[in-house]
Structure 1
Amino acid sequence: MRVGRRARQLLLTGFAVAALAACEILPNEPTPPEDIPQVAPTRPRAAPQPAPSPTTGIDTTPAPSTAPRSAASRELAAYYGRLQQDLLVQGLLRTDGGGPDTPFTDTMLVRNFERIALAEEYARGAGFTRSSGELGRVKKWNGPVRISVDFGASVDADQRITDQAQVARYVARLARVTRHPVSISQSNANFHVLFMGEDDSDQLKPRIRALVPEISDSALSIFDNLPRGIHCLVLAFSGSPNGYDYARAVALIRAEHPDLLRQSCIHEELAQGLGLGNDSPTARPSIFNDDDEFALLTTHDEMLLKILYDPRLKPGMSADQARPIVRELAARMTGGPS
């Protein structure tokens, strides 16, 4: 069976100095963003140490609950378990990163970069309304990206240990690939990864509100009754009015996912939150494709990140301004122009 997009990236813009910007990046307090966000998978051991609040240093992550999971959560977990198995049977959710069966040229890499990094999946200020598909501008972080991991009470101690380890390994990879300061930081984070499930619904919006006090009610409403076809999503906030410089992000990964879908969400959400926010049906080998062929970041996707975080590409650059730089980098990475 085919499924819709696993992840969704939404871009919120329009804050006076740094809507939801990290204190270390911009000194001023943020002001409210626009009302509607833009668009962008054993037995319990001792629980890990609770994570401090990214802003206060006080523990706000609830301890794992001992209550049995609700019927709704069990049903959703069963659905995602069947979905993962169906995709694997079809030979999808590959984890090999691509190979001889997935060749691509510099021309293809340029085209894919433009569709994935420059075009926006959703219209600005219109929630999940699809954009026109026109090429936009370069979107990326200027300052350090400090990633925290938070859990809902429904996530048990073992799963927390696994998730924290997977995020930490992936963050190290992203830092190596982009050569940008990307790190784990529970004390002063500006990119928050939340693992929460159906049984954490009463915690989700208050937690986001605590992380992003100025977020509007209409922006928070995105998290009301998310369809199960949206496996995970990331809200990325610009650092200037109607800007393209990312300053904060909040990602949600459903706690009901089985192992590979869960890891796939980690890979896609963090990469999208760095600026690869769109999809392309022609991108291969890539996680930024609705066909679900690949579950994890590929060699092709690493090249996209390397291009995006080349110092010559600045937030707000148009496609015409970026294209000569992108072409030069793509030719170098693939062994010459095709």
Structure 2
Amino acid sequence: MHRLAVPILCLMAACVPTSDSEVANRNAPVAIDLPPMKTFSNQRAGGVNRPNSQIAQDFLDLTFQMESGRPLPWLTKFEGPIKVGVRGKTPAGLEGDLARLLARFRSEARIDITRARSGEDAQIMVEAIPRKTLQRAVPQAACFVVPNVASWAEFKKNRGNGKTDWTRLSNRTKATVIIPNDVSPQEVRDCLHEEIAQALGPLNDLYRLPDSIFNDDNFHTVLTGFDMLILRAYYAPELKNGMTRGQAARALPALLNRLNPRGNRATNAGANRTPKQWNDAITRALALGTAQSQRASHAAKAVKIAKSQGWTDNRLAFSLFVQGRVSLASKPETAISAFVQSGNIYKQLYGASVHSAHVNTQMAAFALSSGQSDLAVRLTDESIPAARNSSNAALLATLLMIKAEALEAAGRKDEARRVRLDSLGWGRYGFGSERNVRMRLNEIKGLAPRRVRS
């Protein structure tokens, strides 16, 4: 399993100048000292609102199949206390984020998991290596997890010989999470959340899940209440190593009713499976090495499939969101229409959620570039709380930067200065290096219409 290296934000594609001379004709780059990095001390998981019958189906589909479609014959998990070790040149902030994550596993998922002391054996090893080294082995991956090995060197030695094949496991005794050590603190944290969770439990991702990190849409960057419920069920005594799908299915209703009594209610909605053709279309639309026209074609195909399936859920909304992303540079009118439709669906389903915040970020960028500063402020104000509550510093910083530019354009300079300063602290966590923060800041500044000096 691996977290895909898919960029979250591409709002600049249709509006940013394409040459240095064009940039010079816009507003001058901001010269400002960066404040200290801001971090999220606590992640708020939120509740789980779906019926247990749906959650049971989600559990089975997450647990007994891999993303590739290969079935997993039985449930496997660690037995006994679990220790997590760290190896390699670790980036700043990793230990703090890891400590918070392990505390959440203990309190929310009730898993006996702790940080390994120096010299102590670890069942899960986190190894940090350069991103280029990682992607030479697994292209397009931001990070990944492999079973039955205790290091990067052991993974390379045994790759392809069956030892690291999840489908051959009868239980879990050790696993290694490979993460990059030269990316932003947020990307490191996101990798820790997803890959350690998959080292512990489910190995699949499902696009139909609106409230989970086990979803390649990358909207949720930290483990949610749903994810913790899945992991708590995974490590409950009712589910044992070696259980088949049928055995787990028979145990889940009573187990989930015990863990999640509020979900013990009837539902008329069955699990609507996602056809492989739609998954393939989305994957190809997001493939960065593919020609723009082909990506747009695949995105349009995903929208067509979603509508033909009669979907009105987050999969249709995400199809439209992807269509908007890949149409920004070539067909801005198509992009705007797709974003509007996507945003309307997300708002109807989930209100002012992180899903809507991603759409509003795109729309606010368009509003800023077209001189609609009041609209840009309104859209960012709608979405800043969701970005903050979802612990997404990159998204939060981007929204604040757009808002600052919109306030500046409206003549509200003091407010703009305060908001911009706030954005930079979050940007240091979300984007990493000072260079990356300044690039994003000046990229967004370039969206604002040229201001004529008097």
**Partner AA of 1:293 in structure 2:** F
Give distance in 2, aligned partners of 1:88 and 1:316: 49
1:183 equivalent among 106, 109, 114: 114
In structure 2, what is the equivalent of residue 273 of structure 1?
199
1:142 and 2:79 correspond:
yes
Matched-pair contact (CA < 8 Å) for 2:111–2:232: no
2-side partners of 1:305 and 1:272: how far apart? 9
1:84–1:260 contact (8 Å) kept in structure 2 = no
Equivalent-residue separation in structure 2 for 1:291 and 1:312 (angstroms): 31
Q: Which amino acid aligns with 1:173?
A: R
CA distance in structure 2 between the aligned counterparts of 1:88 and 1:274, rounded to whole angstroms = 37
Q: Give the whole-Å Cα distance in 2 for the aligned partners of 1:87 and 1:151.
A: 35
Shift of 1:329: 2.4
Q: Which amino acid aligns with 2:51?
A: T
Q: Deviation string for 1:23-43 (max 9, x for gaps)?
A: xxxxxxxxxxxxxxxxxxxxx
Q: Which has the larger radius of gyration?
A: 2
Amino acid at match of 1:140: K
State whether structure 2 residue 125 is matched by structure 1 residue 192. Answer: yes
Deviations 1:226-264 (A, max 9, x none): 31x21110012299x944310001001112332322211
Equivalent of residue 230 in structure 1, options 141, 149, 154:
141
Unaligned stretches of 5+ residues in structure 1: 9-79, 90-94, 122-129, 205-222
- Partners of 1:197 and 1:182 in 2: CA distance: 27
Change (3 A) 1:98 1:169: closer
- For 2:66 and 2:211, how far apart are their aligned partners in 1? 20
Corresponding residue of 2:347:
none
Question: What is the distance in 2 between the residues matched to 1:98 and 1:287?
Answer: 13
Structure 1 residue 135, shift from structure 2 partner: 5.7
Q: Distance in 2 between matches of 1:273 and 1:88?
A: 35
Q: Is the 8 A contact 1:286 1:294 kept in 2?
A: yes
Give 1:337's aligned residue: 265
Indicate how the Cα distance of structure 1 residues 198 and 310 shifts in structure 2: closer, same or farther if over 3 A, else same: closer
Once the 2 structures are TM-superposed, how far is the Cα of residue 138 of structure 1 from its aligned partner? 1.1
CA distance in 2, matches of 1:287, 1:87: 22
Counterpart position of 2:362: none
Residues 109 and 304 from structure 1, CA distance in 2 versus in 1: closer, same or farther, beyond 3 angstroms? same
Q: How far 1:175 sits from its partner (Å)?
A: 2.3
By how many angstroms is 1:98 displaced?
Answer: 5.3
Q: 2 CA distance for matches of 1:135 and 1:88?
A: 41
**Which aligned pairs between 1:73-112 and structure 2 lie closer than 5 A?**
83-86=7-10, 97=45, 103-112=49-58
Question: 2:175–2:199: 8 Å Cα contact kept in structure 1?
Answer: yes
Structure 2 length normalisation: TM-score?
0.43
Per-residue CA shift, 1:157-206, capped at 9, x if unaligned?
xx33x10111112112112333332110132212110122147x4xx8xx
Q: Percent identity?
A: 24
Counterpart CA distance in 2 for 1:225 and 1:183 is: 29
Aligned residues: 218
Alignment of 1:6-25 (within 5 A): 7=3
1:312-333 deviation line (CA, Å, top 9, x unaligned): 2111101111112212222340
Q: Which amino acid aligns with 2:143?
A: C
Instruction: Provide the residue aligned with 1:41 in structure 2.
Output: none
Two-structure CA RMSD over aligned residues (Å): 3.2
For residues 105-154 of structure 1, the C-alpha deviation after alignment (integer angstroms, 9 at most, x for no partner) is: 21221111111122233xxxxxxxx234x4632121013211011223xx
Summarize the Cα distance change of 1:230–1:174 in structure 2 as closer, same or farther, 3 Å threshold.
same
Distance 2:193 2:12 in 1: 18
Give the 3-state SS of the residue equivalent to 1:231 in structure 2: strand
Answer 1 or 2: higher relative contact order, Cα 8 Å, separation at least 6.
Answer: 1
Instruction: Tell me the secondary structure at the aligned position of residue 176 of structure 2.
Output: strand
Distance 1:105 1:285, change over 3 A: same
Structure 1 residues 242 and 198, CA gap change in structure 2 (3 angstroms): closer
In the alignment, the residues of structure 2 paired with residue 261 and residue 111 of structure 1 have an alpha-carbon distance, to the nearest angstrom, of 30
CA 1:109–1:244: 2 relative to 1, 3 Å: same
> Which residue type is aligned with residue 113 of structure 2?
V
Distance in 2, matches of 1:137 and 1:87, equals: 43
Q: 1:88 deviation in Å?
A: 12
- Of 119, 125, 131, 2:65 maps to 119
Q: Greater share of helix residues, 1 or 2?
A: 2
Amino acid at match of 2:228: E
CA contact (8 A) 1:105 1:334 kept: no
- The SS at the match of 1:282 is coil
Match of 1:20 in 2: none
**Residue 131 of structure 1: which of 69, 76, 80 is its match?**
69
Specify whether residues 98 and 281 from structure 1 end up closer, same or farther in structure 2 by C-alpha distance, changes over 3 A only. Answer: farther
Partner of 1:169: 100
| Residues in 1 aligned to 2:11 and 2:213: alpha-carbon distance in whole angstroms | 14
Once residues 330 and 88 of structure 1 are traced to their aligned partners in structure 2, the CA distance between those partners, rounded to angstroms, is: 44
- Relative to 1, partners in 2 of residues 1:88 and 1:119: Cα closer, same or farther, differing over 3 Å? farther
